Homo-oligomer: A and B are copies of this chain.
């Protein structure tokens, strides 16, 4: 033991340092790897995305304080595990849909001066570059969802009215929203993760309208969606509404033949 310690002469240590520095700046430079989650929900009116706020709400703040929830990847952690963990930290372990979306690795994605400032402050080390793996997830908005995450507040924001976000997070969200439109056509059943256990036809239709960005015909929508075997009508109706009460439906995950 001792004898191996003794090998740390100035020359040896310095050569190791140079080796590592070269490694970090040349061919095999290793970027940091992070996982960011685009967590989407629907409140009956609008599509919303869960963002975490870093630091003060001061509008003169020196860095972009709103960002997607995410963090650097831990050692020995799978990408999917990291995404699940981030999600659970924020929303508890309720049901949700989560899927890898895409990696974003532009060398300039962390170069905005405001973001550099934040990174240096938050991570306490010089960050050259971060390759992030973005995840798309769909959850139900409820009160428990407003949890703090790593000491920072998380809150829901309408996807149509987003302020400036850190890094390329605005871009990532816009790409995810395009993907969501595809998803709503190909696997409409995953969208039910965003609805309450009981929902009306109107809620269901509004959600689809928000996602595909246009109004849908009421009658055609009923035929196409409400007749699916995985949507079952309940013997419950709205209460105390000043018009004919709407029926409630539930999602039956059993057989989801489309």
Residues of A within 8 A of B (CB): 8, 10, 13-14, 16-17, 20, 23-33, 72-79, 100, 102-107, 123, 125, 128-129, 131, 133
Contacts and interface: CB of A to CB of B under 8 A. Distances in A.
B131 A75 contact: no
Nearest to A109: B78
B79 A103 contact: yes
Nearest to A28: B72
Nearest to A16: B17
16 contacts: A10-B13, A13-B14, A20-B20, A27-B72, A28-B72, A29-B75, A33-B105, A33-B131, A75-B107, A76-B107, A76-B129, A78-B106, A79-B103, A79-B131, A102-B102, A103-B133
Contact of A14 (B8, B32, B73, B104): B8
A11 to B, nearest CB: 9
Given A23-B125, A79-B131, A73 B17 contact: no
Given A14-B13, A17-B16, A27 B75 contact: yes
Contacts of A72: 27-28
Q: Which of A14, A26, A28 has most chain B Cβ within 10 Å?
A: A28
B75 A123 contact: no
B31 A30 contact: yes
Contact of A32 (B30, B76, B105): B30
Q: Which of A10, A26, A30, A100 has most chain B Cβ within 10 Å?
A: A30
Q: Which of A17, A77, A78 has most chain B Cβ within 10 Å?
A: A17
A178 to B, nearest CB: 13
A201 B172 CA distance: 40
B28 A123 contact: yes
Contacts of A14: 8, 13
Q: Which of A23, A24, A29, A72 has most chain B Cβ within 10 Å?
A: A29
B105 A102 contact: no
A27 B34 CA distance: 12
Contacts of A105: 33, 73, 78-79, 133
Given A17-B13, A20-B17, A33-B131, A75 B125 contact: no
A28 B82 CA distance: 13
